């Protein structure tokens, strides 16, 4: 192996080069030496004959000289597989006829670049996490009493850990996504090229208006509260779960909008469970914790289940995101999928608390409108559920209330410091 490797741009930058420029840059990076004239002629002929650049780079890296040099290269596994498949007569002929190869090659290069950037992000955040952990241990050893600096450090550590989990989930999703074949077609009629490019071209130069999954993950980190607070609030519902006959019979509980899986992880071990979420990163995080989860629309999923096959459906802070028609559909499909005695458990912000309805509710831009408890109770009864109960929970801490024995103080405590959330719990008859 060479004593020192030349400083080069990341290896995937080679994919932006063509012909002789590609070969003259690839040899120093992958083999540690300049290309010889015979090798230049040989590889130029291969490229002009239509060989894929990724497969050519994979061949150089996997040669005896490339393995000895040991250049760091990630993302060539697919190219190596295609290279081996292309050596088979029938399969190789089919791969050479693959359409849209030039655009797919650009997509592959972009995915590889994203892969490299995500790995770099993960390494930086893991290093940051280790530094924070060391600082926390030092502070904990120096002072056993509560300290604001220690609390701030713990919060930074929690946020760093959550961000690291999100980056790993996004990297897992990228690596598990099917990679498009990048072989060049043997013959592409010139008349087809403009049409293909026109179809692939964007209709506008405006950026996409789609809100990424990472926004909502960061939003929940900031506003939802720590894991200890969430678990303490969710524990209120565990006696209801333990006493439900449909769940006791072994039917599963389905949690809509499962997030990172706090409720799924809190359930008793004997309860079968499944999380459903439209945020793909949340689903990956649940699966990384060993919790079953599906990335799909909950209403469509429940409608496709056999009648009476579900023990319970829970949804924490979901129904305020639904319009009236979608809420009606959700109640209908739950009634279809639930077994007799099966329950729904829907928690939502309580608009009877004026601070919640006028301020906290609107912090989330995806909320549609508050749902008064009386309306939700009536709607659930109207849809045919039995034993409908409203549980008002998560009241403001007593130290914030008015310490005065008067009618005015009692009204203020009720309207400003009362329960911030409520749950509707009901059963299928």
* Cα–Cα distance measured from residue 376 to residue 374, given in angstroms and rounded to the nearest whole number: 6
pLDDT of 80 reads 66
My answer on whether 394 and 298 are in the same domain is: yes
- Percent of the chain scored above 90 by pLDDT? 35
Provide the CA 229 distance to its chain's centre, in angstroms. 22
My answer on whether 89 and 165 are in the same domain is: no
Tokens at 358, concatenated = 């006028």
pTM of the predicted model as reported, rounded to 2 decimal places: 0.51
pLDDT tens across 325-339, in order? Answer: 999 999 999 999 999
Half-sphere exposure of residue 365: CA atoms within 13 angstroms, side-chain side: 4
Q: Which residue has the higher pLDDT, 8 or 211?
A: 211
Q: List all residues 6 or more positions away from 52 whose beta carbon is below 8 Å from its beta carbon.
A: 79, 82, 101, 105, 182, 183, 184
Q: 346-359 burial string, b = 16+ CB within 10 Å, else e?
A: bbbbbbbbeebbee
My answer on whether 41 and 121 are in the same domain is: no
Tokens at 425, concatenated = 């719990």
Is 209 within the bounds of a domain? no
- Of the candidates 345, 201, 189, 321, the residue with the CA atom closest to the CA atom of residue 267: 345
My answer on whether 240 and 364 are in the same domain is: yes
pLDDT tens across 100-130, in order? Answer: 455 555 566 666 666 667 777 777 777 777 7
My answer on whether 113 and 15 are in the same domain is: no
* Cα–Cα distance measured from residue 29 to residue 72, given in angstroms and rounded to the nearest whole number: 9
Which among 17-21, 30-34, 39-43, 345-349 has the top mean pLDDT? 345-349
Is 259 within the bounds of a domain? yes
CB neighbours (10 Å) of residue 221? Answer: 17
- Of the candidates 69, 74, 72, 73, the residue with the CA atom closest to the CA atom of residue 4: 69
* Cα–Cα distance measured from residue 283 to residue 277, given in angstroms and rounded to the nearest whole number: 6
Tokens at 373, concatenated = 């408890």
My answer on whether 282 and 404 are in the same domain is: yes
Domain boundary among 96, 119, 143: 96
CATH code at position 283: 3.40.50.150
Helix or strand (DSSP H, E) at 247? helix 245-248
* Cα–Cα distance measured from residue 280 to residue 269, given in angstroms and rounded to the nearest whole number: 25
Domain boundary among 96, 125, 142: 96
Structural domain span for residue 162: 101-185
Q: Within the chain, what is the greatest distance between any pair of CA atoms?
A: 97
Is 345 within the bounds of a domain? yes
Is 222 within the bounds of a domain? no
């Amino acid at each position: 192996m060479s004593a020192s490797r030349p400083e080069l741009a990341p290896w995937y930058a080679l994919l932006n080069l063509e012909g002789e420029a590609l070969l003259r840059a690839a040899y120093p990076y992958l083999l540690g030496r300049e290309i010889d004239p015979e090798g230049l002629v040989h590889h130029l002929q291969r490229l002009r004959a239509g060989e894929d650049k990724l497969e050519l780079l994979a061949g150089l890296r996997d040669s005896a000289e490339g393995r000895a040099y040991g250049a760091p290269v990630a993302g060539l596994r697919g190219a190596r597989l295609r290279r081996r498949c292309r050596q088979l007569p029938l399969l190789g002929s089919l791969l050479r006829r693959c359409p849209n190869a030039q655009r797919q090659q650009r997509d592959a290069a972009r995915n590889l670049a994203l892969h490299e950037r995500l790995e770099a992000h993960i390494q930086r955040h893991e290093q940051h996490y280790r530094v924070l952990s060391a600082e926390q241990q030092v502070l904990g050893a120096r002072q056993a009493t509560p300290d604001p600096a220690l609390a701030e450090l713990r919060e930074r550590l929690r946020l760093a850990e959550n961000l690291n989990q999100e980056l790993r989930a996004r990297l897992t999703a990228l690596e598990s996504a099917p990679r498009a074949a990048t072989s060049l077609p043997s013959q592409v009629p010139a008349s087809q090229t403009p049409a293909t490019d026109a179809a692939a071209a964007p209709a506008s130069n405006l950026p996409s208006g789609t809100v990424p999954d990472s926004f909502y993950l960061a939003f929940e980190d900031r506003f939802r509260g720590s894991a200890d607070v969430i678990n303490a609030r969710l524990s209120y519902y565990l006696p209801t779960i333990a006493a439900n006959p449909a769940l006791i019979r072994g039917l599963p509980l389905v949690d809509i909008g499962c997030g990172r899986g706090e409720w799924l992880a809190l359930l008793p071990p004997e309860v079968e469970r499944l999380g459903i979420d439209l945020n793909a990163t949340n689903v990956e995080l649940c699966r990384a914790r060993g919790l079953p989860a599906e990335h799909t629309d909950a209403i469509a999923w429940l409608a496709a289940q056999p009648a009476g096959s579900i023990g319970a459906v829970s949804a924490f802070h979901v129904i305020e995101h639904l319009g009236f028609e979608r809420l009606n559909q959700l109640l209908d499909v739950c009634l279809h999928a639930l077994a007799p005695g099966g329950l729904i458990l829907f928690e939502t912000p309580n608009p009877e608390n004026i601070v919640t309805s006028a301020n906290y509710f609107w912090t989330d831009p995806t909320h549609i409108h508050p749902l008064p408890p009386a309306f939700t109770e009536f709607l659930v009864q109207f849809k045919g559920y039995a034993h409908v109960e409203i549980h008002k929970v998560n009241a403001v801490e007593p130290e914030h209330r008015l310490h005065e024995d008067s009618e005015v103080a009692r009204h203020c405590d009720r309207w400003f410091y009362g329960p911030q959330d409520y749950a509707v719990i009901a059963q299928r008859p």
